[in-house]
Amino acid sequence: MSTGTKSAKASEPIIHDVFEHDTGTWQYVVADPSTKTAAIIDPVLDFDRATQGLTTRTADALLALVKENGYRVDWILETHVHADHLTAASYLQSRLAREQGYSPSIAIGRRIGQVQRLFGKRYGVPEDQYGVVFDHLMDDDETFDIGNLSATAMHLPGHTPDHMGYKIGDNVFCGDSVFHADIGTARCDFPGGSADSLFASGRRLLSLPSHVKIWTGHDYPPPDRGSPRAYMTVQEHREQNKHLKDGVTAEEFVAMRNERDAKLAAPRMLHQSLQINIRGGRLPTPTDEGDRMLRLPLDLKGKEW
């Protein structure tokens, strides 16, 4: 765990970047230095596929960080419904409500409804388990406060249609849109994904001032790099990003992304993640026997039975 960067300027946040190694996810605690008000971005709930076990070790480490620094968490911000890890948003909200005396708001982009309806139908999730699970739905370019800091929600579609980034000071938390320069960008083959939209979102990010830091949602460092890295500047991406650097055309990007996505396997936690995350991290309603159930589709390998 690193403590990211700290700025003495009142308009800049304290940023704690916390890497979750099993899913390669970057989580962030972003705080106003003047009021100690904070937001948590894209927190992870630990899941063991072999045992179907849920644990809260990673989320509890975030809580410990918050307590150690004396932060008051007002927001839990989701960039989108993740398909590769389970969100700890609901667990954190419940714990923080008890520990700090009031409940932080779980927020996500306003287009989340179309994603919830799609996957709710696919997995047979009753609408009353996902219909009103987020406390705040962000509009495009909506501004909101984290203490004395002003933040802006940026619609960054492509990976998913509802995808949001969050600009706080000279930092953008871009979720699963732009990755480290040696990885490039995220896949676009999920329902509602679009390589054309992702290219436009990438150019929007890379049109920001050159010193702005783009904090990514994941990193999968290759052996020649070694350690994961949470951010790169706009200038670094414009010079180095293998998919989006200056000179890459929209046509080249779309052709590359579509060809690459056609060869990618499904995320290993796809079905579990989507069913929990459309619920905002809440668990399924127990059965009469007290079990909380998820559905997993069978792969019949194209054979008729």
Residue appearing with tokens 């650097």: 245
Chain segment 12-70, per-residue pLDDT in tens: 999 999 999 999 999 999 999 999 999 999 999 999 999 999 999 999 999 999 999 99
Q: Angle at which helices 250-261 and 195-206 pack, to 10 degrees?
A: 130
Supply φ then ψ for residue 208, to 5 degrees. -70, 165
The CATH number given to 14-277 is 3.60.15.10
How far, rounded to the nearest angstrom, does the alpha carbon of residue 209 sit from its chain's CA centroid? 23
Q: What pLDDT is recorded for position 138?
A: 98
H-only helix segments in 56-124: 57-69, 89-100, 112-123
Rounded Cα distance between 161 and 175, Å, is: 13
Name the token pair of 248.
Answer: 């890459």
3-state helix, strand, coil split of the chain in percent (to 5) is 25, 25, 50
- Residue for token pair 């460092």: 221
Binned average pLDDT, 10 residues per bin, the chain of 305 residues: 44 96 97 98 96 96 98 98 97 97 96 96 95 96 97 98 97 97 96 97 98 98 92 98 98 98 95 97 96 92 82
pLDDT at 2: 44
HSE-up of residue 255 (Cα within 13 Å, Cβ side):
5
Domain segments of the chain as ranges: 14-277
**199 near 254, Cβ under 8 Å?**
yes
Question: What's the burial of 60, exposed, middle or buried (CB within 10 Å: 0-12/13-18/19+)?
Answer: middle
Instruction: Indicate the pTM of the whole model.
Output: 0.94
Q: If residue 260 lies in a helix (H) or strand (E), which one and from where to where?
A: helix 250-261
